Structure formats: structure tokens, C-alpha cells
Structure 1
Amino acid sequence: MTTATPSPTSTSRLLKNRASATPDRHAYTFPADLSAPTGAGWDSLTWSQVDDRASALAAGLISLGLQPTERVAIAATTSIRWALVDYGVMYAGGATVTVYPTTVAEDVDFILSDSGSRVLVVEDAAQFARLTPVLAELPQIHHVIVLYGDVPEDADADSVLSYADLLARGRDYYGAHPRVIDDRINALTPEHLATVIYTSGTTGRPKGVELPHRTWLYEIDAVVEAAAAGPDDIGRLTVDDLQYLWLPLAHVLGKLMLLIPVQVGFETAIDGRTSMITENLPVIRPTYMVSPPRVFEKAYGGVNTMMQSAGGVTGTLFTWASRVCSQIFDADHGGDATASPWLRAQAKTADRLVMAKVRQRFGGRIRYFISGAAALDPDIARWFGGAGMMILEGYGLTETCAASSLAMPWNYRPGYIGAPLPGTEARTDEAGEILLRGPGMMDGFHNNPDATAEMIDADGWLHTGDLGEIDDAGRIRLTGRKKELFKTSNGKYVAPTVIEAKFKGICPISSQMVVIGDNRNFTSALITLDEDAVTSWAQRNGVAGFYGRIVASPQMREVVQGYVDTLNEGLNQWEKIKKFTIMSRDLTVEDQEITPSLKLRRTVVTEHFADDIAALYA
């Protein structure tokens, strides 16, 4: 007689079910030594081993006094231990509060205090030292866990534990209380709090988004169902997929990508070192990867620069292959291009000679990429699609528990972010703002009912702040950010995010563009360039010096002017970039100019570079 598998009423139960269903299948692959480069070896864990570690960590947290729905804050870089601790919090019935490791101390103080976190997990001794002044003001945090390395010698041994200490303590406690994990999981309902994610915020103080288990369970089911809805299983996720996960797990999308594999059972290669993405891809050979647009922009720019720097036949062949393959992709997915039999024959040759080699740089097994968190330029999407690696754009907010819509291979159209997920409704109001309603909506902002009421109306519609339109097939296209839309002194509206995304698709050496013009008589821009691409360009063109000198050179100014001129050809008169400044450095997370999820903090940038902006309008 067999016992039926309990239906998941929580993400914790979902993980238990997975460990029971496929205990011996690989769940995770991860670097054996984070201080070593790729090639130094990878370790792995099965689902049974994940269950074992999560149970021990949960028991350890319970032994420290963690009560159901109490918060555990994790302030660390993406790694296998981050994932395991999060699963441990789930098993203990607690709620995870995610904190970017780069968050400034003032905001960390607010997040920990506002969330009422009882335990804090930090990366290492250096992170602990940086947050020690914050912890001195937060007596409600009774324990700190250090994920990697030893506990500092001067730390209180009763309140500061290493990851190994917590595991060992948990195994002892679990041995003496073998029912404790099952009891905690059985007590959970879909409405219990699972996660509090503080919006990194492009302006103002972060707000804590409360996400109960039901929102995650809905998201997982909806994404998996949507992916399986097309013909010939073209998008279906299976146990044979392999995800490459480097996204910040403090971000709602990263957290979702920890849970979808639990539902489906496929393996995840996890390594949060962003500097290793290019090196890891051909080693891991994933079937899909989720990323914000910046990674795709940088990858496109890198390949383009490398091919063009080769010059001669190689550069010409690459340009031709990119053009014809992009045209075929556009023609096959609702774009403006047409495809004659002759063009299709050319594209087959181009794929064999060029694009097949490009795919190998990404591991050679990509079924599709998924892009989220910001707008992706359609031309970059067309190039990747033409190379045989379709980028499916998704859309959502932290407040909607990640995805609300997702493009699929069978209804793909460049520039569109897909139709709403099953169960989610979308419409636009009279101002063109996108409104969403469905099971994935947050419970509200923690300790902030006024902000909750401002975002979710009495009929349950969540006001996203994004402007867009919906086509006859239900696909959504973003046209700008409501709060970022500005008006020139001539009374013309400009959507800066659209222009900025277009420029990144045109200029392969770009990093950031910040469009300026609010209440000004013309539109201008601050431009930063990618250091690797700029260095490569300088070597090819005989321009000597460090990065700041190169970008200030007349030669570089001429190159960027050419890209700006190309951009302007596709803009309305009032949108055209009349003046621009090439910045001597890139925007950084550390300076709070971009968020950890790589979104632009426009207000901070305009404050930091006020003199440069003033010079444009002098």
C-alpha cells in the first residue's frame, strides 16, 4: 500500500515532495572552491542531500529559538549555502528577509529593524565586521550566522556561529527531536508569510513586500503551466533541463528561480560571481538562464567587438550573418522583415559558418534565455534570436512575486513581454498605465498600509507605474515608466527608458545612457562605456592611456557621435540627443547609482553628475 504525496500547501512541503519523488537526481552543481577560477572543480548535491542539509539547518535555527513566521535575514552573495539556508528557513516555518550584500549600512539597519528579523546570515567575517555597528543598535537580532570562513575571534561565541556550527547544532537537535521539522511544515498554510523582500528602490526608502507561500506556489505553477502550453513541448521545462543561476537571490526573480526547479526537478548550477558568467557558460552548458538585459547587452557587445576587431573577411562575414539571421528571426516572429527563399538559404549558410560558433560560446545547449528586471532592446533580442538563442522577455514586480507575464517561443514578438500568466489579468487605464490583478499579488508592504493602499486599489488592481499597451493577442509592450516620463520645456513628452534601451542595442561599447531633458529646451544624455570594449577598441586604434583618457579622446568622441547619430535617426525631433557627455567612469552599485538588480537610480545619478548636466545646458 502506498501513501499519497501530500499536496503542497507551502514551499516547504513542495521541497519535501521533491526530495521524496527524485531523491537521487542532482539538484545543484556549484564551485568546489569559490576562490578558485572555473576549472578547479565542481561539487554537487542530490535532492535527498538538499533535504538533509535543509532539515539540519532548520533544526539548528529552531534550537536557537526561531519561532514560526519569525524572520531570518540573509545578507550574502548568491551561493549554494544561501540557497540551503533559505530552504532551512522554509523548513523551520520562518520567513526569509533578503538583503543585498552591497546595501549601505543605513538601509540594512532599516530593513533589519523594520522587518523584525531575529537572525542575520552574513557572507563572511568581513561582512560581519561591516555590519557590527548596525547590530549594536538591533538587540532583537539574537544570533548571527557566518556563511563562509571562521567566526571572528573577538565575536561573542554564544551569539555568532559559523555555517558548520549551525549544521552540527541542528543535527544534534534533530536527532533528539525527529518530528520537529515535519511538525513545522505541517503547520504551514498558503497564507503564512514566506518572504519579505525590500524593494531596492530607485528613489526613497525601501519598502518590505510581504509574500506568503500562496504567491510563490501560484508563480511556480503558472510559469510551469505557461511554458508547457505550446506545441511540440517547445517551451516545456523538464527534469533534463539545466539552469545556470547567478542572479542575486535577494531579488524576487532570483528567489523564484530557486523554487521552480523544486517543482520540476531539474538541476541548477549556482555561482553568484558575476565576473565568471562568460567563463562558466561553456563549462556549465546550461539549457536556459535568466538575466537582466545588461548581461545580454554586454555579451552582444563583446562578441561584436571581437569579430569586428578581427577585421577583413571575419568582420564582414559576421556583419552579414548577423543581418540575414536577424531578418529571418524577425520575419518568423511578427516583425517587419520579410524572408525570401534566397534569404533563408543565406541564413542557413550564415548559421553554419558563424552562428553555430557563437552558440558554442554560450555552451551550445541553450533552448532559450529569459530576460527580466528592465527593458531589453528589440535589436539585441533579434540578434540573439537570429543566433538561435531566443530571449524570452518577462515582466513583473517584487509586488507581484516576480513574473506577471512571460513571452513564449510560439507567441514571441520582439519588444513585447508576453501575455499574462494563467490566472493573472492585465489591462491599461486611461493614462496607459499597466494594471495587474491575480493570485501572485503581495499581501502588502510591511508596516506600511498607506503605501499598500496607494498601489493596490479597492478592486484589487495593482498599479505598476509602467506605461504600456496590449495587442490583440494579449501581449504587453512597455512604452515607459510613468514616474520617469518627462516633458521638455516645449511641452513634448519623452520616455527616457525607451531611448536608453535603443542606444544599448546600437552601440556595442556602451554601458549606460542616462537621458536628460525634464523642463529643458532639448534632450541630452550622459553616456558611460564598457571598460573591456573600450580597451579593446583603443588597442586596435592606437589610442594609448588608461580608461579615463581613452574615453576623453577625440577619436572616441567621434565613434560615440556616430552611434548617437544612428540613434537620432529613429527618434522624434524632440527626442533627439542634441548634446552628450561621455563620463570618465561607469555607474556603480557601490555609489548607489544603479540598484543591485542593475536598474538605474535616475535621481541619484542626476545628483552625482549635476555639474556635468549643467554644462550640457550652459
Structure 2
Amino acid sequence: MGCAASAQKVLAVAPVSTSTEDYFAYEGAGPWYTCKPEGLILPRLANSGAASARDCPPQTLQDLLKKAAEEKGDRPALKAEKPCPALQDSGPPPALPEAEWATWTYRQYYEDARKAAKAFVKLGFEQFDTVAIWGFNAPEWMLSALAAGFAGGKVGGLYPTDTPQTAAFKVVHSGASIVVLEDQAKLARLLPALAARQDPRPCKVRAFVAYGYEPAPGESVQIPGSNLQVPVLSWSAMMAAGSSEDDAIIDVRSKAVQPGHCAVLVYTSGTTGEPKAVMLSHDAMIFEAVAFVNITRSHVGLCGSAQQERILSYLPLSHVAGKMVDVCFPFVATASSPAWVTAYFARPYDLKAGGLKDRLNVARPTVFLGVPLVWEKIADRLRAVGATTTGVKKKLATWAKAQGLQHSKACLLGGDGLEPFGYGAANKVLKKVKRILGLHELKFAFTGAAPIRVDTLEYFGSLGININEVYGMSESCAACTISTDRAHLWGSCGFQLPGVEVKAFKVDAADMNKKEECPRAVSLEQIDEEFQGELCFRGRSIMMGYLAQPDLGAEHVQEVERKTADAIDAEGWLHSGDKGMITQTGMVKITGRYKELIIGEGGENIAPVPIEDHIKGWCDGINEVMLIGDKRKFNVALVTLKAVGANGETPGTDQLDAGAARVNPQVTTISQAMEDRFWIEQITLAVASANNNGKVCPNNAFKVQKFMILPTNFSEEQGFLTPTKKLKRPVVEKAFAKQIDMMYKSTSTYVRYEP
């Protein structure tokens, strides 16, 4: 994989249509949403282009899985190591040879999803009910998700890291009548949490199904709040029950499902209050997937011929990106293109134990989505290897990466796309690196869910890996902007997905319906306030609304309807809460999040992320930086260092890792670094570099005056990160209130942490 091979393939302007015929008209006053479990949003069809019925006819997910099975039934759809080898003290066992991986063809995928649907109905699943799934990615996860639609309902995923209380809320709120669980511990934790809720009505659960362990024959549990005993079935027992049922009930249920009905609930991971359930229709998900397939096929050749494309499923399937890339994209692409897509599954412990590279080497993905944390971890490992290389190998690698970086820069939007002299030889060296990673057959690499540093993009560009950025939210069915190898800029999150409208508005603080479109900037560097506003989207992929559960009472329903009305205005625009701008060439840039903006003492709007990213990019040993300063005299920063085991889910150990281990080889732990003069000097220099950079700190109000090194990293386990690894800033600020006050009282630039 690389960027465009010739000058003709690099675009000067993003491929954004200006024809009103290519977008849904949004005529009338709305409302453009529903909050009802049985609600229906008719497909928002354009007269022409990507969002038209011609390019993407309204269908259901089950229609397309059936089509994939009919046309490419013998092709592999799902592959997993079964049983999954247990993690050893010495680390992950070697990957099984691909021939030994359990495989579902598309025909088996379709048939097993229908069997599961029949079993769900037999167990008490009703139309518009939900199948709630709590566990790590597995073929059974995807089969359950598709079975929900065949049975006339929807799927609602829980994050593997959800607390029992959060899981119980989602089970009740989603209206789940079937709960599919990975392991026995989850059931043991869920039942007391359900009992503790004391809801006005007993939850609707009629069966628990386990796919990661074998419940005892005839096992049952009592539903909290009722005398009802419900079965706890193994996956095999459930499938056997489905095999004996007549197909007629599934045929009737499936035909009753319309493209505008809800297919998926995606729970947002907010920092306060109960999570909201985003309702995504069949049509929204299919449109999103088809638009992605079409643009990547035309720009990079993905799914362009009758051959296998491959993904590795490892990010949470409960997240919108997991549902779109891992669940929806493979069979939609298989049904709507000449190619067939196979999903390979990572092991549950791969991210924690560093085993992802083994699965990558088997899967050899042609499409790979990595959140910034994953890309940065890969870069850390490669830099660590590079630091130990010496002599001729070191010189050769340095030369090859310089050639790769030069070519990557030439492939940015408006570039000439030309390869520098000697690039062919350099690329042979770079291909060896990509082969070690298992990324040597990549056609499309991308990132999303959180901001990624430009220096990370440049690093991979030097290796000949172009990481494209996508941007969106659960409410926009994942990506509403995309960049490709033909049209991308480092620092931009791409251009609007065909058929979707993206604009930046100055929005009235008192009335979201009063808004004025911002003028387009000449370039990404032109960040004057007049060009910046709230990024808003509308189109066929926008959510139906947030789910209101009638069983939780009228007050709950009213609150959810209010939150939905606060998100989608009278003209159908979904308000993102993100501050950003759009250039005259059609590229979108996020400059901050309104809720995260620091309001300086003089009223300045300070976006923390550019400052934080600059500091992290300057000092490779820093893991995270969090700026504080809202309504205070000046800004201070909490700093964490890269440590062994710090993977976002857990805070890791005291032992320094990757770039942090190389800052001062005499210092091996965070505890030592907190006392080390050289470490403190390096971070001080990184902060000074940001302060002296006019792009990130245009005046004194933006500058960082003091910093503190924390003894551990931020993690989900502590409640400091969301499941998509976004920083929960209010939670962190509250947890470290004492330490923050220490910085404001101190006269020193570096303030030593005290518990």
C-alpha cells in the first residue's frame, strides 16, 4: 500500500459535489427524528448521486446478507481461532495456522443467523425487541446481531469494559429480551446489578445465551423483580433449538422490517449521566457502507475486482466503528461489489498482551482501522526497534524513510504525486517493515474516534503507509467525512462523504436554529475565528434519534426527546459539538470541542488539543497531556509517561516503556522520572516549544505555565477514559483537584506530585 502512483491521481480539490440534486432536500419543518422503539424514518433519498435510490436502493441488512450468501455462498465470511489458545505467563501462544481457524462461509453465516433468530423467537423475542450482547468480538457476536434483525428487532451492544451497573442500565433501557454473554462472570455481575435497579417494571429478559462457556444443562436464573425463571443456554444448545423450528416465522418477521426501522443501538460513552442510545436504521448503515465501498473502490481499488479483501476485528463491536467496519461493511461490500470480504477475529487479550501483530500476520488485512492509540503503540514499537539498529542497516533505514516521507508529502492534496529518485529501492526496504507488521497488503488504512497527532501520520508516511482520517460520531453512523490516498491532508479529517452535507455554522447560543454558515478558509493554517464554527451534518446516514424506553416512565421519555431535539435542529442538521472549519478545497479540520474549550481569564477560547499534541510530539516519552485553565489566571498541565502495560484499558505499571525508556537510560520507572532533573528539563523544553509556537499558542493566554507528572497513566479502569479512549476531562480534573490546586499555589514550573 502507498499513496497515489502518479501526478494524475492526486487531486487538487476534494471530490465534493455542489449539486443540490445529490442531497436530500429536507423540505418542511420536521421534526427529523423519532425516539420510539418501533419508530420509522423513511430513507432520506437524493435525486441523484451516492444518496439516490439508483446508487443505493433502500434495503435491510438481512436482505444484503442473503444476497451475499446467494452470490458468494462458498466464500469465507468469518474466521476465528477456536478454541482460543489461553494466554500464558510467557505471553500469547503462537497464532494457529490459518488452515486451522474455524471458518463460516457466507452461506453458513446466513443460515446460522437465521437459526439463531428462530431460537430467539422461540425463547420469547418479540418484534422491536433488542438482543443485548456483552462480550469481546467473536463470530457469535455478529451472528447474534444479524439474528436480531431476522427476528424483527435490533441489536444493542455493551462494551466489554462496562461496569455491571452500566450493563444493567443498557439491558433494561434497550428493551432486551435476549442477552448474549461471553463468560460466566458477566452473568454473575449482571444479575445483582439488575436487582439493585428497582425499576418500575421487571426487565424483559427471557433468556441468557453464553458463547464463551458451557452453562450447566437445564440451568436457569430468576429475573429480578419477578418470579420468572429464565433459561441460561449454551450457544450450541440455542442453535440446536433454532434448527428444529420452522422458517415461516422468520420469513414473516423479516418481511415486516423496513429499511427505515432501527437495526442497531449504539450507546454513547458520555462523561456524566446515563449513556444515550443512538438509533441507527438499516438504511443509514447500508448507505454509509455503500458510500465507503464506492469511494474507496474508485480511489484506491478496494473491492474493485473479484478477489478477497480482509479485515481484522479487534475494536469493540459495541462502538459504531466496530459495527460499521467489522459487522456491516464485509457483507454489504460482498453483496454490492465484485469482491468478498473476510473478517478475522483477534483474541480477547491481544491488545493487552501485545499479540495483535500475530493476528495481523495471519489476516494480512487489506483494510485496517486503528484508533490513534493503536497507531501510536505500533509506532512506539517500531521506533524502539529502530533505536537498536546500527551501522549500515541504520543508514539504509534512515535513507528509505526519508524517501518515503518525501513521497508521502508529494501525495498530499494538491501535490504532484511524484516518486523521488531511488524510491523504488527505498520501497523494497519499507515493504520489509510492513511485512513484519502484517500490513504489507493494505489498500486502505484509516483512523478515527479521537484526534491523531500529525507527527504520527508523518511517521507512518515515511514507512509508505498512508493513514487516512475519518470523522463523525455515533449519531452520524460513524464517518461523515473521509480522506483517501488521492485526497488527504495531514491535520485534516477529510472531506464530506458523498451524499452527506457537512458545514461549519456560527450558532446562536440561545437558539440552535439560528445559525450562519462560516466562510471557507484558504488553507488549514488560516485559523481565524471567522472561519470557525460548529460542525454540523445531515443526510441519509444521520441517526433516527435517541431511544426513549417507555418502560422507564413518561419523565424519561420526555428527557430523551428533549436531548434529541437539542441534537437535531428544525432543518435536520445534527449538531456535533465540535468546533471546526472547512477550506475552499473542501477539507474539514477540527479545532476543538466546545465542551472542552478553556475560557481564559480574558475571555479567550483556548483549544487544548493542539497544545497537548505539540508537547507530546516534542517529547516521545510523554503518553498524555491534559491542559487545565478554564476561568483561571493561567494554564497548567497534567502529564503522564509511557509505561509498560498502559494500553488505555489499564493504567499499566511503574516501568517506563517505548520512547520513555530512551529519554534517560539511567531512569527506568515513572517514580524515578518524577525526581529526575533530565526528565524534568525535557518536559520543560517540550512545554516551552509549544508556548513559543504561534500556531498553537497565538498569545500568552494559551501558554502553559506549570506542569506535574502523574504516577500512573489514564485508563478506562480508573474511569478516566471512555471505551474509545477519549479523555474524560471533567472526571480527571475532579480526581486530581488537590494536585491542580498545588500547581496554582506553587511558584515552580515543575510541581512534584503529592497524593
TM over 0.5: yes
Residue 291 of structure 2 corresponds to: 222
The residue identity in structure 2 corresponding to 1:576 is: K
Residue 255 of structure 1 corresponds to: 323
Q: Which moved more, 1:99-108 or 1:583-592?
A: 99-108
SS of the aligned residue for 2:190 comes to: helix
Alpha-carbon distance in structure 1 between the residues aligned to 2:160 and 2:315 = 13
Alpha-carbon distance in structure 2 between the residues aligned to 1:278 and 1:240 = 20
- Change in 2 beyond 3 A, CA 1:393/1:98: same
Asked if structure 1 preserves the Cα contact closer than 8 Å seen for 2:410 and 2:418, the reply is no
**1:407 Cα deviation from its structure 2 partner:** 0.6
SS of the aligned residue for 2:506 comes to: coil
SS of the aligned residue for 1:450 comes to: helix
The residue identity in structure 1 corresponding to 2:569 is: D
Q: Which runs of 5+ in 1 are unaligned?
A: 1-5
Greater per-residue helix proportion: 1
**1:387 Cα deviation from its structure 2 partner:** 1.4
Aligned to 1:40, which of 71, 96, 100?
A: 96
Question: Does residue 519 of the first structure (1) align with residue 631 of the second (2)?
Answer: yes
Q: Which moved more, 1:137-146 or 1:186-195?
A: 137-146
- Change in 2 beyond 3 A, CA 1:288/1:238: farther
Q: Which runs of 5+ in 2 are unaligned?
A: 1-55, 87-92, 222-228, 335-340, 508-532, 549-559, 645-654, 746-755
Asked if structure 1 preserves the Cα contact closer than 8 Å seen for 2:448 and 2:469, the reply is yes
**1:201 Cα deviation from its structure 2 partner:** 1.2
Question: Does residue 457 of the first structure (1) align with residue 569 of the second (2)?
Answer: yes
The residue identity in structure 1 corresponding to 2:479 is: A
Where in structure 2 are the equivalents of 1:17-32 lying within 5 Å?
17-32=67-82
CA deviation vs aligned residue, 1:304-347 (integer Å, no higher than 9, x gap)? 12212445665565555444432331233148x99998xx2265
**1:348 Cα deviation from its structure 2 partner:** 4.8
Where in structure 2 are the equivalents of 1:553-572 lying within 5 Å?
553-570=676-693, 571-572=696-697
Alpha-carbon distance in structure 2 between the residues aligned to 1:561 and 1:281 = 38
Alpha-carbon distance in structure 2 between the residues aligned to 1:215 and 1:451 = 20
Residue 105 of structure 1 corresponds to: 164
Residue 3 of structure 1 corresponds to: none
Residue 437 of structure 2 corresponds to: 362
The residue identity in structure 1 corresponding to 2:243 is: R
CA deviation vs aligned residue, 1:133-186 (integer Å, no higher than 9, x gap)? 02335532222112211226875384211212211111122xxx1323222222
- Change in 2 beyond 3 A, CA 1:20/1:197: same
- In percent, how many aligned pairs have the same letter? 30
Q: Which moved more, 1:405-414 or 1:491-500?
A: 491-500
Question: Does residue 534 of the first structure (1) align with residue 656 of the second (2)?
Answer: yes
**1:547 Cα deviation from its structure 2 partner:** 4.7
Residue 709 of structure 2 corresponds to: 582
**1:190 Cα deviation from its structure 2 partner:** 0.9
SS of the aligned residue for 2:656 comes to: helix
Asked if structure 2 preserves the Cα contact closer than 8 Å seen for 1:503 and 1:567, the reply is yes
Residue 306 of structure 1 corresponds to: 385
Question: Does residue 274 of the first structure (1) align with residue 351 of the second (2)?
Answer: yes
The residue identity in structure 2 corresponding to 1:482 is: Y
Residue 265 of structure 2 corresponds to: 196
CA deviation vs aligned residue, 1:65-88 (integer Å, no higher than 9, x gap)? 111221111111122221121122
- Change in 2 beyond 3 A, CA 1:494/1:597: same
**1:229 Cα deviation from its structure 2 partner:** 3.4
Alpha-carbon distance in structure 2 between the residues aligned to 1:238 and 1:597 = 34
**1:555 Cα deviation from its structure 2 partner:** 4.0
The residue identity in structure 1 corresponding to 2:643 is: E
Residue 289 of structure 1 corresponds to: 368
Alpha-carbon distance in structure 2 between the residues aligned to 1:315 and 1:520 = 48
Asked if structure 1 preserves the Cα contact closer than 8 Å seen for 2:95 and 2:358, the reply is no
- Change in 2 beyond 3 A, CA 1:552/1:306: farther
- Change in 2 beyond 3 A, CA 1:553/1:80: farther
Q: Which moved more, 1:448-457 or 1:358-367?
A: 358-367
Asked if structure 1 preserves the Cα contact closer than 8 Å seen for 2:626 and 2:639, the reply is yes
Residue 160 of structure 1 corresponds to: 232
**1:579 Cα deviation from its structure 2 partner:** 2.1
The Cα RMSD (Å) is 2.7
- Change in 2 beyond 3 A, CA 1:544/1:429: closer
**1:562 Cα deviation from its structure 2 partner:** 4.2
Q: How many residues align?
A: 605
Alpha-carbon distance in structure 2 between the residues aligned to 1:522 and 1:152 = 61
Alpha-carbon distance in structure 1 between the residues aligned to 2:268 and 2:630 = 25
Question: Does residue 139 of the first structure (1) align with residue 203 of the second (2)?
Answer: yes
CA deviation vs aligned residue, 1:426-453 (integer Å, no higher than 9, x gap)? 1111251111110111111112110011
The residue identity in structure 2 corresponding to 1:9 is: Q
**1:425 Cα deviation from its structure 2 partner:** 0.7
Q: Which moved more, 1:88-97 or 1:311-320?
A: 311-320
SS of the aligned residue for 1:578 comes to: strand
Aligned to 1:73, which of 107, 118, 132?
A: 132
Deviating above 6 A after TM superposition, structure 1's stretches of 4 or more consecutive aligned residues are 337-341
Residue 480 of structure 2 corresponds to: 404
Residue 441 of structure 1 corresponds to: 542
Asked if structure 1 preserves the Cα contact closer than 8 Å seen for 2:408 and 2:466, the reply is no
Higher RCO, 1 vs 2 (CA within 8 Å, ≥6 residues apart): 2
